[in-house]
Amino acid sequence: MNTVVLEVRSLAETLADAERAMKTGRGDAQARIAFASPELLWKVLSAKRWELLKALCAAGRVSIREAARRVGRDVKAVHGDVSALLDAGVLSRTDDGRIEFPFDAVKVEFLLQAA
């Protein structure tokens, strides 16, 4: 299964992992997308955007109009959500202008601890 991990990590942790991967020539086994804080993660992944991601899991390349049809929402509203997810690096745009979420599953990881 092709899974992406959405996680909360500091920039320093992310850069340290990138440096390690460059030195060893080996990266993580799973794709990862990091957010600086839980608040940012939930801001980017609102309920409507999460619903959109679920509809796009393993869907391949689709138009924004098709994505809107799959979630039963207005194209303009879905376009705004797609733009936010593209900006965050969660979705990608294909050469033919379609959008793609190239994963079969999403795993969300973060630790909540006392201040």
Q: Which residues pair with 111 in a beta bridge?
A: none
Q: Which domains does the chain have, with CATH numbers?
A: 3-109 (1.10.10.10)
pTM: 0.81
Statement: residue 112 has pLDDT above 80: no
> Which two three-digit tokens encode residue 111?
């630790």
- State the DSSP code for 20: H
Does residue 34 contact residue 7 with C-beta atoms inside 8 Å?
yes
- What percent of the chain stands above pLDDT 70? 97
Q: Specify the pLDDT at position 11.
A: 85
Lowest mean pLDDT among 15-19, 31-35, 86-90, 100-104: 15-19
Statement: residue 115 has pLDDT above 80: no
pLDDT tens digit sequence for 5-31: 999 988 888 888 888 888 887 767 778
Report the C-alpha gap between 109 and 87 in whole angstroms.
20
Torsion of CA 99, 43, 103, 67, to 10 degrees: -40
Does residue 57 contact residue 103 with C-beta atoms inside 8 Å?
yes
Q: Specify the pLDDT at position 13.
A: 85
Average pLDDT over residues 61-86: 96
